[in-house]
Amino acid sequence: VVNNRRILPFSNASLTQVCGALIKGDLVALPTETVYGLAANALDPHATRKIFDIKGRPLIDPLIVHVASTESVDALAYANPLFEQLAKHFWPGPLTLVLKKKECVPDLITAGNDTVALRCPKHPLFQSVLQHCKLPLAAPSANPFGYISPTRAEHVDRMFDKRLQYILDGGPCEHGVESTILDVSNSDSPTILRPGPITREILETFLQQPIKVRTHTAPTNTTESQLAPGSLEKHYSPHTPTYLLQEGEWLAHTFQENSALILFKHPHTKHLPQNCETFWLSESGTTHEAAQNLYHLLHTLDEKNYSALFIEKTPNTGLGQTLNDRIQRAAAKSKH
Ligand code: TXA
Ligand code: MG
């Protein structure tokens, strides 16, 4: 542990430390190309249980299992030709694929479902860990349940304080939003369960067929016996009250004292609104850059004492749909 900190820069020594902890059944935070994950041995229910405890995550919300390559899938799930085709093209990368699970996958991972979500991450540090420890790793985003996902090691450090032994530092995440989840367990009807960096358009162009998108949203309370995975309306939310603005709505909006406004792109005007500090997700107006900055900006602003955060929706095409999904959830009001 360098300077008494738990944030480890990558080295052979830190790789050994991190893998040692995982093999022992402990948790470590690891960088991926989407967001930072909180990893544990997926085949050890005792280790996996710690993830739910530290995150405050309901046991009915299943976890993604991370593997080093397609070869590791056969031991865990029943692959099919649609899966093979997608994995060959998009792995390693930000596409999680849901398949029928095999017996050895603990119920805790799948929340009792007969399917398992599998992802082969592209980040070189996560890949090194997978190859070195030779375990499938369960890894949800490394944030307390319902809060903003981390895209930098410092975010994880701040959220979990002393409760986490190791955080492997892989720098800022390339994509900045969680992987796309595609259910391919029924190869006749591939369905997007969570939008992500691999957009519906990209998948439809690749497969040359229409892809369904699950639109059903579960209620905010988690008492239902079977939660539609990843569909909690309020998720990725700052503590500061957060409100959604339609594109351009800020121009005519009256802001409350001491609020922060997050625009999609540089407004190129001297007439910024009163009562608030204005920020933007992208200098140039690209959705890729906006995605890289979204969670970092939310983390940063939530640390300050703003009375409210206002976020403008992004153009609703391609990756913009993913951004709007996250922005909408960040701004969803809690139900009591
Ligand atoms: O980019 C990512 O996917 C990140 C990084 C760390 O890999 N992980 C991530 O995990 O976002 P998490 O736990 O925050 O979100 C996983 C989502 C959950 O909403 C869960 O409900 C869904 O995946 N999921 C897991 N297993 C599933 C299954 N068998 N069927 C459907 N959805 C599933
Ligand atoms: Mg999450």
**Which residue is it, tokens 């998948």?**
203
pLDDT digits (tens, 9 = 90+) for 30-89: 999 999 999 999 999 999 999 999 999 999 999 999 999 999 999 999 999 999 999 999
Q: Which atom of ligand 1 is nearest to the CA of 177?
A: 1
Q: Which atom of ligand 1 is nearest to the CA of 109?
A: 26
**Distance in Å, CA 175 to ligand 2 centroid:** 15
Ligand 1 site, residue 259, Cβ cutoff 6 A: no
Check residues 242 and 230 and name the one with the higher pLDDT. 242
Alpha helices in 91-246 (DSSP H): 107-110, 124-133, 153-160, 200-207
Ligand 1 site, residue 35, Cβ cutoff 6 A: yes
Ligand 1 site, residue 151, Cβ cutoff 6 A: no
Pocket test for ligand 1, best of 35, 51, 64 (most atoms within 8 A of CB): 64
Q: What is the pLDDT of residue 214?
A: 92
Q: What is the pLDDT of residue 236?
A: 84
pLDDT at 279 > cutoff 50: yes
Q: What is the pLDDT of residue 235?
A: 79
pTM: 0.94
Radius of gyration of the chain from its Cα atoms, rounded to whole angstroms:
20
Q: What is the pLDDT of residue 161?
A: 80
Q: What is the pLDDT of residue 163?
A: 85
Give bridge partners of residue 255 from the DSSP assignment. Answer: none
Note whether 286 and 236 are within 8 A (CB): no
Note whether 193 and 181 are within 8 A (CB): yes
pLDDT at 2 > cutoff 50: no
pLDDT at 219 > cutoff 60: no
Q: What is the pLDDT of residue 224?
A: 43
Q: What is the pLDDT of residue 232?
A: 65
Q: What is the pLDDT of residue 1?
A: 45
pLDDT at 243 > cutoff 50: yes
Q: What is the pLDDT of residue 315?
A: 96
Over residues 79-105, mean pLDDT:
98
Number of the ligand closest to the Cα of 62: 1
**Distance in Å, CA 250 to ligand 1 centroid:** 33
Note whether 176 and 35 are within 8 A (CB): yes
Q: What is the pLDDT of residue 225?
A: 39
Ligand 1 site, residue 140, Cβ cutoff 6 A: yes
pLDDT at 19 > cutoff 90: yes
Ligand 1 site, residue 142, Cβ cutoff 6 A: no
Rounded to whole angstroms, the Cα distance separating 252 from 204 reads: 38
Over residues 132-144, mean pLDDT:
98
* DSSP 8-state symbol, 333: P
Q: Which atom of ligand 1 is nearest to the CA of 230?
A: 19
Give bridge partners of residue 191 from the DSSP assignment. Answer: 183, 212
**Distance in Å, CA 117 to ligand 1 centroid:** 7
Q: What is the pLDDT of residue 231?
A: 60
pLDDT at 3 > cutoff 70: no
Question: In which band, very low, low, confident or very high, does the pLDDT at 173 lie, cut at 50, 70 and 90?
Answer: very high
Q: Ligand 1, atom 12: nearest CA belongs to which residue?
A: 140
Over residues 283-304, mean pLDDT:
97
Note whether 241 and 259 are within 8 A (CB): no
Q: How many angstroms from the chain centroid is the CA of residue 46?
A: 23
Q: What is the pLDDT of residue 127?
A: 98
* Mean of all residue pLDDT scores within the chain: 93
**Distance in Å, CA 100 to ligand 1 centroid:** 15
pLDDT digits (tens, 9 = 90+) for 109-128: 999 999 999 999 999 999 99
How much of the chain exceeds pLDDT 70, in percent?
Answer: 92
How much of the chain exceeds pLDDT 90, in percent?
Answer: 88
Q: What is the pLDDT of residue 5?
A: 62
Q: How many angstroms from the chain centroid is the CA of residue 154?
A: 16
pLDDT at 310 > cutoff 60: yes
Q: What is the pLDDT of residue 215?
A: 80
**Distance in Å, CA 108 to ligand 2 centroid:** 16
Q: Ligand 1, atom 13: nearest CA belongs to which residue?
A: 140
Note whether 27 and 39 are within 8 A (CB): yes
